[in-house]
Structures are given as C-alpha cells and as structure tokens.
Copies of this chain bind each other. A is one copy, B any other.
C-alpha cells in the first residue's frame, strides 16, 4: 500500500536508502525449483552499477549482491528470496550542502513536505540507487522467463535528438552482444559513436541530457495480460513510469499511432500455414491486443528526462522558502540511459513473470 511492492504473484518489495547501510529486495512468489544463477544476477547488476565508463558517474560501488534466503542447494524453494546489496561508497559529506536546500527538479521538496522528514543524503530513498534492487529481482525474473523461452532485450534508441535506426533483432544473444560492444548501449554501432561523443561533450559542459530506451520482448506466448485494468501494456507502462526520470511510455505505434487512420493502422492477420502461431503483417499493436499478448514481438519505448543534477549554479529555495543557490557536487551521470537499459529490462521481466504466472489460471485445467 505504501508503494514499495510491485507485482501480484511474482511480487517484490524493495527497501533501502542510497546512503544507508544497504539496499535490498524480497521476492515472494517465485515458484520452487528454479535454478538460480548468481553470476547471471551479478552480471545484470554490473550493467547498472556506477563507474562503468567515462559517460557514467565516476562513483564506485561494486554492487555485490548476496542471497539471504529462499535458495537451497542452488534452487529456489518457494519461500521468499531476500537479496542484499551493501552500500559501499557513502561519501555523505557530498550531500551536506542540500540538508536545507531543495534541489530543483529533484524529490527533496516533495519528500520533505509529504513526510515532514527525509534522509537527505544523496536523495535517500528517492535516489536511483534503489533501482539496483529492481535489477537483482528482475534478473531472477529473467531466469524464470528463460525456462519458457521468453527473452527481453532493450537498448538506447535515442540520446537527445540523436536517434538510432530501427534494429532487426535476430536473437536476443546477438542483439545484446552487439549492444554491449559500446558504452552507450545502443545496438547500432554508428549511432552509438555519435551518442557517446555527444554525451561526452555535454558532460564537459557540466550539463546533462535525456534519451530513450527501446525494449523488445521475444517469444512471448499468447494470453499474457489481464483485462480490464491489468492490461499487459498498462502494467508495463506503470513499471517503466516508476523508474526514476521516466516521463513517457508508448507501445506499438505509440504517439505516432494517434495520427494514423484505421485503414493503415490495423494489423492484418496472415493465414496460419503451420503450428507456429498467428502472425500479423504489421505490428502497430506492439504485440498486445485488448491488453493481452498476441504472440508477436512486444515493443515499447521509454522516455527519460535529463538528469536534474547539473554542475552549474542554479537559483532555488531553502526549507523556509527563501531564495538560495545550489550547484551540483559529487559524481553524477551526464545521461542516464546507458545505465537505464538493464533497469528497463528488469522491470519488463518482473511484469512478464508476474503475468505469466497469472495467466496459468485463465482456463480451468481438465
């Protein structure tokens, strides 16, 4: 109810502040007998961790995850899985300047007003550090989905006004391999180079820039998504919008679809020639019809605003409402999207795992 849980059957609850002792997550509802590949989970966290490259924050944290419960002899047991990620690099003094001053376009003012108290160190609970717990839980969800052949892949499709061309995905592994060849995590090498140069110049100006992440879900079976409120894209949308800095979500034809006509937008079914399931000529539906997956690739896009912490002096107010000035200190990302890719994938995996479990009761078994 207080908003720190997500999912219905595959349900996670996260905890922890950026400069407290640790952050973590409990996963309740993972079926028993899933093989838990801890290296895979750590690998996902490594894609999100700070200090990866010159275009991310230079803060250093290993983000090493530890499983406290729910796994026995390498397998899930059906009991809650607790994962802990200790906070290592807690330069709290970087944040003494914002005890009494509200940083513009941050959550300082709203947390302080809502709760009358806040852990001001590094954003506390509102810090994007919380998303490490999501990535850890999402990695487990991915392992669950992989047993069913479902794969989730995302990449950076835009940085500022630089846009990647559409990528044809052959296999998930190949797509990821291509994407991981560059530090901006764009699957198109030429665009990636351009993006990196641009972010680097933005960084040198002490400024930040926004971007977009595109996500594809491959081999999703037909039937996932629960009408009428828990439509698959509605839950994907909520999942994405709950990520720090996200300001927009669209799937399939998205915003562009609102400018189209029905006669061009309708996805025409192809006659089935074999048992491989139904296909449509176009995929403006983004793999989801009536809120339920239709077997085509699920496709959506997530828009991130520019990081609010910039290295310039900005006018602001203090906790009494008086004029003040603030300037970013510490080590921050000039652009959030390269590190957001594993977060988008993780949140998508959590939605899919949940809906896959939910859909198992759609029809009365014989």
Q: Which residues in A have some Cβ–Cβ distance to B below 8 Å?
A: 1-6, 8-9, 11, 13-17, 20-24, 26, 28-29, 31-34, 66, 68-70, 72, 75-82, 102, 104-107, 109-111, 113-119, 124-126, 130, 144, 147, 158, 160-161, 202, 207-212, 222-223, 225-231, 233-235, 237-239, 241-242, 247-255, 257-263, 265-272, 278, 280, 284-286, 289-294, 303-310, 312, 314-317, 321-323, 357-365
Contact = CB atoms under 8 A, between A and B. Distances in A.
A226 B3 contact: yes
Contacts of A280: 104
Given A222-B114, A234-B238, A247-B257, A21 B361 contact: no
A28 B4 contact: yes
Contact of A110 (B105, B270, B292): B292
Contact of A78 (B26, B304, B363): B363
25 contacts: A1-B9, A1-B29, A2-B80, A3-B228, A4-B79, A4-B228, A13-B80, A16-B80, A31-B361, A33-B115, A105-B285, A107-B292, A109-B289, A126-B227, A210-B260, A212-B255, A238-B238, A247-B286, A248-B249, A248-B257, A255-B255, A257-B303, A263-B310, A269-B315, A272-B322
B229 A6 contact: yes
A358 B1 contact: yes
Most chain B CB inside 10 Å of its own CB: which residue of A223, A225, A305: A305
Contacts of A234: 238-239, 241-242
Nearest to A73: B117
Nearest to A305: B257
A225 to B, nearest CB: 8
B309 A362 contact: no
B15 A80 contact: yes
B248 A248 contact: yes
Contacts of A77: 115, 117-119, 124-125
A279 to B, nearest CB: 10
Contacts of A359: 114
